[in-house]
């Protein structure tokens, strides 16, 4: 076996102990600029802007020992081993950027060298910077006073066109693209106002946009760039504050930015740099991951990833907010409500833990071992199980486990806040990013787009709600995985969303930006393919957000 393969395997297992002869790395100004952009686009989310790791490991040049005793340091690995990792990915969930065609061999070589150099200091942003980027494209008094369309806009889907920085608005009744709206790069999520009229968009590049769905052709009515890297956005949903404010959570600069809900005018910045809850170590890169709007109080529930705290952020006095810091676990990522919308269940994925926050009493209920590697729920899936009572489910990036956690401490106390059922996906390894269900559907759907096995990567996994077992796999026909470049194939189905009444489930084919790819619409109960939505504008469709389900937090 070649040295590169040996080291690649060691790295994949987190055993970075093989030391290679250090080489002198030099990059030109142009190469550095390109590498910084690629790193931001593909790597920063998991490894951090400062490369100290979270979901992904430490990838700075100097050695570092993690809590499991594994050593991490890019200089110890060397260029050839790093190239193998970046090109092929790992069983733990890192995509094979070269294998998928998203990076060329030259770009893989560039990144293998770049991560052996010290990370450059990313720029900060002031309130003055924010205001310079703020634009009201359509003033409030010039917007429609009622819907201008005869379409069923509450069954619209906002579809992320990830790599081209756009959002497609798709009519869920007619299965056709209504409009394509510019957004930030690699939009992470969309959120709806409580009445569903506005769709709030946040790009990985920190650009927030506001789309008015009442217009005959939906378009942006306001936009602002609040930070250099972001993942989360939501609105105020508590009674009396519906749509008054919006909030963005930033990865860099690590901060919370409150905006006017109708115009996106910046109102308040709050830095999140703080001390880790367990070790008391100051952390500049304390990034904001998930944000969810509390239905019981005028609060946002905000994950501070690196410090392991969940902040309960009261927005009644927007200039002088109050924040309750709840100690949970590191490193907090994504999560969602239980069926009552009282308990927030969120993944501390690097610690293989699900933290549960009671948003009525404002406290940690439990830290639950997820019994899998790197839980990644998205918002999760809620099921009222005949055997276990209400449960919430999450999958894992690093293992083939879907787990169900009891969420009913009063009605089913023996099952509350523990894993009551583990569901094994077929085959080896993880790769699951999202699971989804709907109250009117008898199934849960799971994807696996970052599993390195081609067969496992291109299937849909169907879980029966009553049995809590995989009862069917749906392979994606090869015709929908093709690309204009014969050397590159689409990664497979990613993310699920239901239409408003739960009779259909939609998934998209995660392709590359050279070729349009399809959205597949299945009957949610017969599992028959009903419709294939194909449009030349659908480039890298990934996340899909139905207006009715998003405004009601239905999952």
For the purposes of burial, counting CB atoms within 10 Å of the CB of 527, is it exposed (0-12), middle (13-18) or buried (19 or more)? Answer: middle
**Is-contact 154 547, C-beta < 8 A?**
yes
Q: What is the pLDDT of residue 554?
A: 97
Q: Give the integer Cα–Cα distance in Å for 424 and 83.
A: 32
Indicate which residue of 72, 188, 333, 438 is catalytic.
333
Alpha helices in 29-165, H assignment, sequence order: 29-38, 44-47, 74-77, 79-88, 105-114, 127-133
The tokens describing 477, both together, are 């026909």
Q: 3-state class of 410 per DSSP?
A: coil
**Is-contact 97 103, C-beta < 8 A?**
yes
Q: Is residue 105 part of a domain?
A: yes
Q: Is residue 67 part of a domain?
A: yes
Q: What is the pLDDT of residue 23?
A: 66
Q: 3-state class of 542 per DSSP?
A: strand
The tokens describing 144, both together, are 């429609």
Contacts 24+ apart (CB under 8 A), 98-101: 100/488, 100/491, 100/512, 101/483, 101/485, 101/487, 101/488, 101/489, 101/512
Indicate which residue of 16, 94, 227, 441 is catalytic.
94
Q: Is residue 21 part of a domain?
A: yes
Domain range enclosing 97: 3-114
CA 481 to chain centre: 23
Q: What is the pLDDT of residue 22?
A: 52
> By C-alpha distance, which of 538, 496, 543 is closest to 515?
538
Indicate which residue of 72, 188, 376, 495 is catalytic.
376
Q: 3-state class of 77 per DSSP?
A: helix
495 included as an active-site residue: no
Indicate which residue of 46, 227, 250, 551 is catalytic.
46
Q: What is the pLDDT of residue 486?
A: 73
Please count the residues of the chain: 555
- Per-residue confidence in pLDDT tens, the chain, 555 aa: 333 443 443 344 343 333 344 568 889 988 888 988 888 778 887 888 888 877 788 888 888 877 677 777 888 888 998 888 898 887 666 878 887 778 899 999 898 898 999 888 888 999 999 999 999 999 999 999 999 999 999 999 999 999 999 999 999 999 999 999 999 988 999 999 999 999 999 999 999 999 999 999 999 999 999 999 999 999 999 999 999 999 999 999 999 999 999 999 999 999 999 999 999 999 999 999 999 999 999 999 999 999 999 999 999 999 999 999 999 999 999 999 999 999 999 999 999 999 999 999 999 999 999 999 999 999 999 999 999 999 999 999 999 999 999 999 999 999 999 999 999 999 999 999 999 999 999 999 999 999 989 999 999 999 999 999 999 999 999 999 987 777 777 889 999 999 999 999 999 999 988 889 999 999 999 999 999 999 999 999 999 999 999 999 999
The tokens describing 295, both together, are 């239905």
Q: What is the pLDDT of residue 487?
A: 72
What DSSP element (H or E) covers 5? helix 3-12
Q: Give the integer Cα–Cα distance in Å for 106 and 85.
A: 14
> By C-alpha distance, which of 262, 284, 184 is closest to 227?
184
Q: Is residue 28 part of a domain?
A: yes
> By C-alpha distance, which of 514, 453, 506 is closest to 172?
506
Q: Residue 77 sits in a domain of what CATH number? A: 1.10.760.10
Q: What is the pLDDT of residue 165?
A: 94
Q: Give the integer Cα–Cα distance in Å for 535 and 550.
A: 24
333 included as an active-site residue: yes
DSSP code per residue over 201-239:
EE-TTSEEEEEETTSSS-EEEEEEE--SEEEEEEE--ST
What DSSP element (H or E) covers 459? strand 459-464
Q: Give the integer Cα–Cα distance in Å for 378 and 403.
A: 14
Q: Is residue 49 part of a domain?
A: yes
For the purposes of burial, counting CB atoms within 10 Å of the CB of 106, is it exposed (0-12), middle (13-18) or buried (19 or more)? Answer: exposed
Q: Is residue 292 part of a domain?
A: no
Q: Which residues of 7-19 are buried (b: 16+ CB within 10 A; e: fewer)?
A: bbbbbbebebebe
Q: Give the integer Cα–Cα distance in Å for 216 and 63.
A: 56
The tokens describing 247, both together, are 């909030």
Q: What is the pLDDT of residue 284?
A: 94
As for how many domains the chain has, the answer is 1
438 included as an active-site residue: no
CA 394 to chain centre: 13
Q: Is residue 20 part of a domain?
A: yes
Classify residue 42 by its DSSP letter. Answer: I
Instruction: Tabulate helix, strand, coil % of the chain (nearest 5).
Output: 15, 35, 50
Q: Give the integer Cα–Cα distance in Å for 237 and 241.
A: 6
Calculate the alpha carbon distances from 294 to 193, 417, 460 in Å.
13, 20, 32
ω into 331 cis (within 30 of 0): yes
- CA angle at residue 245 from 239 to 247, to 5 degrees? 120
Q: Is residue 306 part of a domain?
A: no
Q: Which runs of E-coded beta strand occur in 349-426?
A: 353-358, 363-369, 381-385, 389-394, 401-406, 419-424
47 included as an active-site residue: yes
The tokens describing 43, both together, are 């790597």
250 included as an active-site residue: no
């Amino acid at each position: 076996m070649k040295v590169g393969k040996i080291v690649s395997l060691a790295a994949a297992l987190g055993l970075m102990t093989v030391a290679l002869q250090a080489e002198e790395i030099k990059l030109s100004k142009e190469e550095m600029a390109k590498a910084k952009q690629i790193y931001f686009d593909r790597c920063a989310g998991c490894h951090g802007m400062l490369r100290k790791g979270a979901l992904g490991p430490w990838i700075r040049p100097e050695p570092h020992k993690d809590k499991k005793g594994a050593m991490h340091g890019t200089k110890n690995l060397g260029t050839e081993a790093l190239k193998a990792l970046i090109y092929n990915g790992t069983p733990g969930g890192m995509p094979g950027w070269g294998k998928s065609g998203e990076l060329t061999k030259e770009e893989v070589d560039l990144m293998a060298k770049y991560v052996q150099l010290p990370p450059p200091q990313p720029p900060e942003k002031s309130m003055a910077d924010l205001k310079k980027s703020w634009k009201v494209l359509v003033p409030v008094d010039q917007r429609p006073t009622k819907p201008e369309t005869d379409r069923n806009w509450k069954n619209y889907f906002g579809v992320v066109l990830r790599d081209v920085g756009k959002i497609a608005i798709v009519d869920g009744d007619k299965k056709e693209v209504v409009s394509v709206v510019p957004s930030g790069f690699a939009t992470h999520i969309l959120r709806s106002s409580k009445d569903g009229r506005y769709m709030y968009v946040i790009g990985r590049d920190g650009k927030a946009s506001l789309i008015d769905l009442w217009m005959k052709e939906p378009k942006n009515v306001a936009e602002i760039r609040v930070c250099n890297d972001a993942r989360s956005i939501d609105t105020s949903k508590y009674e009396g504050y519906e749509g008054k404010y919006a909030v963005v959570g930033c990865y860099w600069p690590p901060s919370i930015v409150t905006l006017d809900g109708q115009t996106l005018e910046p109102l308040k910045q709050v830095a999140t740099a703080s001390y880790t809850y367990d070790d008391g170590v100051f952390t500049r890169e304390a990034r904001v991951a998930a944000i969810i709007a509390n239905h019981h109080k005028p609060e946002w529930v905000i994950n501070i990833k690196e410090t392991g705290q969940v902040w309960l952020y009261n927005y009644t006095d927007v200039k002088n907010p109050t924040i309750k810091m709840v100690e949970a676990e590191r490193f907090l990522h994504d999560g969602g409500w239980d069926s009552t919308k009282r308990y927030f269940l969120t993944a501390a994925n690097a610690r293989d833990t699900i933290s549960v926050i009671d948003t009525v009493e404002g406290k940690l209920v439990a830290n639950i071992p997820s019994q899998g590697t790197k839980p990644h729920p998205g918002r999760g899936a809620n099921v009222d199980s005949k055997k276990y009572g209400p449960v919430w489910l999450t999958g894992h990036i690093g293992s083939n486990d879907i787990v169900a956690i009891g969420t009913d401490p009063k009605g089913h106390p023996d099952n509350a806040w523990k894993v009551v059922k583990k569901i094994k996906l077929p085959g080896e390894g993880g790769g699951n990013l999202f699971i989804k269900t709907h109250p009117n559907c008898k199934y849960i759907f799971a994807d696996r787009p970052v599993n390195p096995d081609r067969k496992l990567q291109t299937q849909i996994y169907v879980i029966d709600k009553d049995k809590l077992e995989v009862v069917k796999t749906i392979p994606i026909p090869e015709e929908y995985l093709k690309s204009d470049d014969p050397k590159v194939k689409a990664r497979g189905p990613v993310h699920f969303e239901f239409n408003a009444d739960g009779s259909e489930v939609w998934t998209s084919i995660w392709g590359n930006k050279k070729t349009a790819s399809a959205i597949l619409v299945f009957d949610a109960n017969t599992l028959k393919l009903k419709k294939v939505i194909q449009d030349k504008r659908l480039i890298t469709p990934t996340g899909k957000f139905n207006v009715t389900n998003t405004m009601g937090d239905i999952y």
